Structure 1
Amino acid sequence: MTDAPGYELPFLLFGGFRTLIDRLHAELAHRGHPDLRPSHGFAMQAIGVRGATASEIGRRLGVSKQAAGKTVDRLEALGYAERADDPADARRKIVRLTAHGVDALAKSAEIFDDLRAEWVRTLGRDHVRAIEEGLRAVAGPTAYRLDAAGWLSG
Structure 2
Amino acid sequence: MAEQDPPGYELPLLLFAGFRTLIDRLHAELARQGHPDIRPAHGFAMQAIGVHGATATELGRRLGVSKQAAGKTVDRLVALGYAERADDAADARRKVVRLTPRGLDALTRSAAVFDDLRALWVAEIGADRVRAMEDGLRAVVAPGGFGFDVAGWFGG
Q: Same fold (TM over 0.5)?
A: yes
Kindly provide the CA deviation profile for residues 64-85 of structure 1, in whole angstroms up to 9, marking residues without a partner as x.
Answer: 0000000000000000000000
**TM-score of the superposition, structure 2-length normalised?**
0.98
Aligned residue in 1 for 2:134: 132
Aligned residue in 2 for 1:90: 92
Q: What is the CA-CA distance between 1:143 and the residue it aligns to?
A: 2.3
Kindly provide the CA deviation profile for residues 63-119 of structure 1, in whole angstroms up to 9, marking residues without a partner as x.
Answer: 000000000000000000000000111111000000000000000000000000000
Q: Structure 1: which 5+ runs fail to align?
A: none
In 2: Cα distance, 1:4 partner to 1:127 partner: 19
> Which of 104, 108, 111 lines up with 1:109 in the alignment?
111
Q: Structure 2: which 5+ runs fail to align?
A: none
In 2: Cα distance, 1:37 partner to 1:89 partner: 32
**TM-score of the superposition, structure 1-length normalised?**
0.99
Percent of residue pairs bearing the same amino acid type: 74
Aligned residue in 2 for 1:69: 71
Aligned residue in 2 for 1:80: 82
Which residue identity lines up with residue 109 of structure 1 in the other structure?
A
Which residue identity lines up with residue 21 of structure 2 in the other structure?
T
In 2: Cα distance, 1:17 partner to 1:122 partner: 16
Q: What is the CA-CA distance between 1:2 and the residue it aligns to?
A: 1.6
Which residue identity lines up with residue 9 of structure 1 in the other structure?
L
Aligned residue in 2 for 1:29: 31
Aligned residue in 2 for 1:152: 154
- Name the SS of the counterpart of 1:106 in structure 2: helix
Q: What is the CA-CA distance between 1:140 and the residue it aligns to?
A: 2.6
Aligned residue in 2 for 1:41: 43
State whether structure 2 residue 145 is matched by structure 1 residue 143: yes
Which residue identity lines up with residue 126 of structure 2 in the other structure?
G
Aligned residue in 1 for 2:18: 16
- Greater shift after overlay, 143-152 or 125-134? 143-152
* Alignment map for 1:54-65 (pairs within 5 Å): 54-65=56-67
- Greater shift after overlay, 139-148 or 5-14? 139-148
Count of aligned residue pairs for this structure pair: 154
